């Protein structure tokens, strides 16, 4: 199969106006992906499906990623000449940049006819609140239908052009998107004997006593 | 045995268990309505043909030839709640599924029993911290037998069934200790929770489920 760079170059030759970039994966898997602009995504997807070299006829997986707003701390190095005539000093200045939050949808494509894959596509929304609409790829790959509904349900990405965009796991009256990083789940913590990690924090909140303290025997008898 | 009451047999003299056993050895069976009624009920508990997750696979295994739940009279898995006596909640109850489980329970005729099979049905189990997992079916319907395990083996389910049979055999058919289907002062229906915007409403049936009280912790001794 062609490399991701080769696919990108062919796509750019075919769709000169499209925004396409390669997202490198530094992990040993080296599964690099293509970040597509939303406006040409459907046309590109159709090209990838129908192109005789690639024939990516199966979309095996659609998933979402939530990228909350985060502060990126960088540093800029500059050399300042020493007025005393010594060697120039290197001054490091810290810069902070606020990266806006966004939602990401990832598609994994395979070719059953050519027996190769995956080709990974990524789409980004504008932000996490208002501009959460992305084009649906269900018209291209029918198998996206339920998985895009899942991403809509759990992440809140709205897919335009989806034939039946409803919640699929949670009920229709549900308002939240549980897989988002800022989701606050219902406060129904119940005591359990060996809390740890995040659960320990909840346990301390609900039972604000020393965590290692023994439980006093109840009226019905000893309860270690 | 059930002692004959003066209204039925005014001249009857209560006999001891030893005397009754002696009579049984000679082929004379003395019994009472309550014992006969409960004996019959306890050996024909028909479960609802209903499974939720991996515990259901063990339930199916228990109903097949190797474990053979038919030995205990419960091989007739009914496909309709109207014909079932026993609801085996076998698996994780999601919040989306919980109203349907309660509705099935309400559709079953009395006398009916509920087994919470496996860690999930008891407390949420390994998924207890999940946002969409009900932390125990006993928040909405009354549970008679809890079977721990993840999942419980078929033998454990059979043991739970035997425990349930013992419970049925111990029930009174009259008086204040009678089960709810023989009394007029109890409502057999459970409230079906509604789907809310963030959680089930109410998240538990307060009349039925009391959360564990805040623990009083003392210093380590």
Nearest-Cα distance to chain A for B81, in Å, is 24
Which of A22-31, B18-27, B182-191 has the weakest average pLDDT? Answer: B182-191
C-beta atoms of B218 and A214 within 8 A: yes
- Region B98-104: mean pLDDT is 94
For residues A23 and A35, the answer to whether their CB atoms sit within 8 Å is yes
Dihedral-angle region of residue A10 (phi above 0 means left; psi in -120 to 50 means alpha; beta otherwise) = alpha
Does A182 contact B at CB distance below 8 Å?
no
C-beta atoms of A216 and B217 within 8 A: yes
Which of A118-127, A189-198, B90-99, B188-197 has the weakest average pLDDT? Answer: A189-198
Angle formed by the axes of helices B54-63 and B154-169, nearest 10°? 70
Q: How many CB atoms lie within 10 A of CB A182?
A: 11
SS3 assignment for chain A: CCCHHHHHHHHHHHCCCCCEEEECCCCCCCCCEEEECHHHHHHHHHHHHHCCCCCCCEEEEEEEEEECCEEEEEEEEEEECCCCCCCCEEEEEEEEEEECCEEEEEEEEEECCCCEEEEEEEEECCCCCCCCEEECCCCCCCCHHHHHHHHHHHHCCEEECCCCCCCCCCCCCCCCCCCCCCCCCCCCCCCCCCCCCHHHHHHHHHCCCCCCCEECCECCECCC
- Region B165-190: mean pLDDT is 83
For residues B132 and A170, the answer to whether their CB atoms sit within 8 Å is yes
Which of A11-20, A22-31, A202-211, B171-180 has the weakest average pLDDT? Answer: A202-211
The residue in chain A having the minimum alpha-carbon distance to the alpha carbon of residue B130 is A185
Average pLDDT, chain A: 86
Q: What is the pLDDT of residue A189?
A: 79
Which of A40-54, A121-135, B203-217 has the weakest average pLDDT? Answer: B203-217
E-strand spans in B64-103? 86-90
Helix or strand run (H / E) with residue B201: strand B200-201
Which letter does DSSP use for residue B213 in this model? P
Q: What is the pLDDT of residues B53-80, one digit of tens each?
A: 899 999 999 999 999 999 998 989 999 9
Q: What is the pLDDT of residue B115?
A: 94
Q: Which chain B residues touch A if contact means CB-CB below 8 Å?
A: 95-96, 123-124, 128-129, 131-132, 135, 195-199, 203, 211-212, 214-221
Q: How far apart are CA B206 and CA B221, in angstroms?
A: 36
C-beta atoms of B221 and A186 within 8 A: no
- ipTM for the predicted complex comes to 0.74
Contacts of A208 in chain B (CB under 8 A): none
A27's tokens: 């992990």
Q: What is the pLDDT of residue A218?
A: 46
Q: How far apart are CA A157 and CA A137, in angstroms?
A: 13
Question: By three-state DSSP, how is residue B167 classified?
Answer: helix
Which of A108-117, A182-191, B212-221 has the weakest average pLDDT? Answer: B212-221
For residues B208 and B191, the answer to whether their CB atoms sit within 8 Å is no
Does A166 contact B at CB distance below 8 Å?
no
The band of A221, judged by pLDDT with boundaries at 50, 70 and 90, is very low
Does A187 contact B at CB distance below 8 Å?
no
Contacts of B129 in chain A (CB under 8 A): 198-199
Contacts of B197 in chain A (CB under 8 A): 173-176
Q: What is the pLDDT of residues A40-81, one digit of tens each?
A: 999 999 999 999 989 999 999 999 999 998 888 888 888 888
Nearest-Cα distance to chain A for B131, in Å, is 6
Q: How many CB atoms lie within 10 A of CB A3?
A: 10
C-beta atoms of B195 and A171 within 8 A: yes
Q: What is the pLDDT of residues B6-32, one digit of tens each?
A: 455 555 667 788 888 888 899 888 888
């Amino acid at each position: 199969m062609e490399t991701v760079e080769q696919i990108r170059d062919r796509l750019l030759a075919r769709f000169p106006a499209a925004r396409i970039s390669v997202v490198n994966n530094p992990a040993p898997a080296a599964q690099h992906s293509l970040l597509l602009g939303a406006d040409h995504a459907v046309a590109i997807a159709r090209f990838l499906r129908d192109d005789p070299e690639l024939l990516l006829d199966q979309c095996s997986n659609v998933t979402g990623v939530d990228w909350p707003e985060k502060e990126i701390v960088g540093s800029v190095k500059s050399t300042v000449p020493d007025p005393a005539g010594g060697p120039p000093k290197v001054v490091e200045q810290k810069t902070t940049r606020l990266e806006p939050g966004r939602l990401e949808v990832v598609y994994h494509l395979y070719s059953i006819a050519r027996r190769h894959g995956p080709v990974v596509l990524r789409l980004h929304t504008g932000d996490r609140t208002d501009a959460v609409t992305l084009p649906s790829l269900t018209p291209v790959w029918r198998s996206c239908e339920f998985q895009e509904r899942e991403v809509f349900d759990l992440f809140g990405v709205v897919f335009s052009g989806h034939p039946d965009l409803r919640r699929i796991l949670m009920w229709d009256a549900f308002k939240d998107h549980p897989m988002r990083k800022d989701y606050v789940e219902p406060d129904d913590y119940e005591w359990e004997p060996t809390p740890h990690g995040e659960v320990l924090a909840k346990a301390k909140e609900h039972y604000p006593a020393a965590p290692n303290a023994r439980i006093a025997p109840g009226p019905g008898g000893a309860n270690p | 045995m059930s002692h004959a009451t003066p209204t039925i047999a005014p001249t009857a003299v209560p006999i001891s268990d030893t005397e009754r056993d002696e009579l049984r050895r000679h082929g004379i069976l003395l019994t009472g309505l309550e014992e006969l009624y409960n004996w019959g009920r306890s050996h024909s508990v028909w479960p609802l043909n209903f499974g939720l997750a991996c515990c259901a696979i063990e339930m199916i295994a228990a109903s097949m030839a190797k474990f053979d739940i038919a030995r205990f009279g419960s091989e007739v898995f009914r496909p309709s709640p109207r014909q079932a006596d026993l609801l085996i909640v076998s698996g994780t109850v999601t919040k989306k599924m919980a109203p349907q489980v309660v509705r099935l329970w309400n559709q079953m005729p009395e006398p009916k029993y509920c087994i919470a099979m496996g860690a999930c049905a008891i407390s949420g189990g390994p998924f207890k911290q999940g946002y969409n997992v009900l932390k125990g079916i006993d928040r909405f319907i009354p549970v008679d037998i809890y079977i721990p395990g993840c999942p419980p083996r078929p033998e454990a389910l059979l043991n739970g069934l035997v425990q349930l049979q013992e419970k049925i055999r111990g029930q009174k058919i009259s008086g204040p200790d009678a089960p709810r289907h023989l009394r007029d002062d109890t409502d057999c229906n459970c409230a079906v929770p509604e789907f809310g915007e963030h959680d089930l409403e109410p998240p538990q049936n307060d009349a039925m489920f009391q959360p564990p009280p805040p623990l009083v912790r003392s210093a380590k001794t």
